[in-house]
């Protein structure tokens, strides 16, 4: 199954980094002002979605879904739902974290929603790579100088972290005490994270 890439309208500065993460067979959805990235990403859309309040409809010869201005879902959330309906199981979101904290947080929760459906999903921006850790172990290679574990949903329990400067064993992280910020992978090793109950947001810093 092809991976679905969803491009939002937040700024991207390191296009070379993002282009390096794209695959030739990716199904690419541009969401409204995400279209501003099309030229520098050097990827044509397979699908365009938006209410076109922040970018004009380019009227390209590709499938386009025009949304109403007033709606419950943001263009990015709608795109994720549409991709799930089309059967995608693997997602990469780009251009979805930026100056608008409300949109950034909303987009982070798309990761949580996709994880609840058993989908694989990541967000990549100029500085980091983000994913949800839940019922499967996650690994962080030593190519990342730092990584953080943040609780964005309920309470995560029986957390184990090995191969890191600050290891954990049978730990608990709650939403109101985020002590999992800025850990480091030990030189030449690989950090492994497991959780028995709950979910955590893993942020790997480039």
Q: Tell me the mean pLDDT in the region 153-159.
A: 95
Q: Which of 126, 155, 184 is the last residue of a domain?
A: 126
Q: What is the mean pLDDT of the chain?
A: 96
The answer to whether residues 103 and 145 belong to one domain is: no
The answer to whether residues 94 and 181 belong to one domain is: no
The answer to whether residues 116 and 148 belong to one domain is: no
The answer to whether residues 112 and 168 belong to one domain is: no
Helices and strands (H and E) in the chain: how many: 4, 13
Q: Tell me the mean pLDDT in the region 35-48.
A: 97
CB 194 within 8 A of CB 156: no
The answer to whether residues 15 and 63 belong to one domain is: yes
Q: Which of 110, 126, 142 is the last residue of a domain?
A: 126
The answer to whether residues 160 and 189 belong to one domain is: yes
Is pLDDT at 123 greater than 90 in this prediction?
yes
At 186-196, the pLDDT tens digits run: 999 999 999 99
Is pLDDT at 159 greater than 90 in this prediction?
yes
Q: Which of 109, 126, 143 is the last residue of a domain?
A: 126
The answer to whether residues 95 and 140 belong to one domain is: no
Question: Which of 15, 143, 139 lies closest to 7, judged by CA?
Answer: 15
Share of the chain above pLDDT 90, in %: 97
Please say whether the dihedral angle defined by the alpha carbons of residues 42, 54, 12 and 6, taken in this order, is positive or negative: negative
Q: CB-based contacts of 77: which residues, under 8 Å, 6+ apart?
A: 106, 110
Is pLDDT at 107 greater than 90 in this prediction?
yes
Please say whether the dihedral angle defined by the alpha carbons of residues 198, 152, 185 and 23, taken in this order, is positive or negative: positive
At 60-104, the pLDDT tens digits run: 999 999 999 899 999 999 999 999 999 999 999 999 999 999 999
Is pLDDT at 1 greater than 90 in this prediction?
no
What is the pLDDT, as a whole number, of residue 114? 98
The answer to whether residues 102 and 163 belong to one domain is: no
What is the pLDDT, as a whole number, of residue 91? 98
CATH of the domain at 150: 2.60.120.320
The total domain count for the chain is 2
Is pLDDT at 178 greater than 90 in this prediction?
yes
Identify the domain containing residue 148 by its residue range: 133-205
Sheet containing 138-141: give its strands across: 138-141, 190-197, 155-162, 168-174
């Amino acid at each position: 199954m092809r991976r679905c890439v969803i491009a939002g309208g937040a700024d991207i500065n390191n296009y070379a980094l993002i282009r390096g993460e794209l695959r030739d067979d990716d199904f690419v959805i541009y969401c409204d002002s995400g279209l501003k990235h099309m030229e520098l990403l050097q990827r044509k859309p397979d699908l365009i979605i938006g209410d076109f309040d922040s970018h004009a409809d380019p009227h390209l010869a590709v499938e386009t879904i025009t949304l109403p201005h007033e709606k419950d879902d943001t263009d990015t959330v709608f795109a994720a739902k549409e991709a799930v309906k089309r059967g995608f199981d693997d997602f990469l979101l780009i251009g979805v974290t930026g100056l608008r904290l409300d949109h950034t947080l909303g987009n982070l929760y798309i990761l949580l929603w996709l994880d609840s459906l058993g989908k694989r999903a990541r967000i990549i921006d100029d500085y980091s790579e983000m994913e949800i850790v839940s019922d499967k172990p996650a690994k962080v290679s030593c190519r990342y100088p730092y990584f953080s574990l943040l609780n964005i949903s309920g309470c995560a329990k029986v957390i184990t972290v090995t191969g890191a400067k600050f290891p954990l064993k049978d730990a608990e992280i709650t939403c109101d005490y985020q002590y999992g910020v800025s850990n480091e992978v030990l030189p030449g090793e690989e950090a492994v994270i497991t959780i028995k109950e709950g979910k955590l947001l893993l942020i790997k810093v480039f």
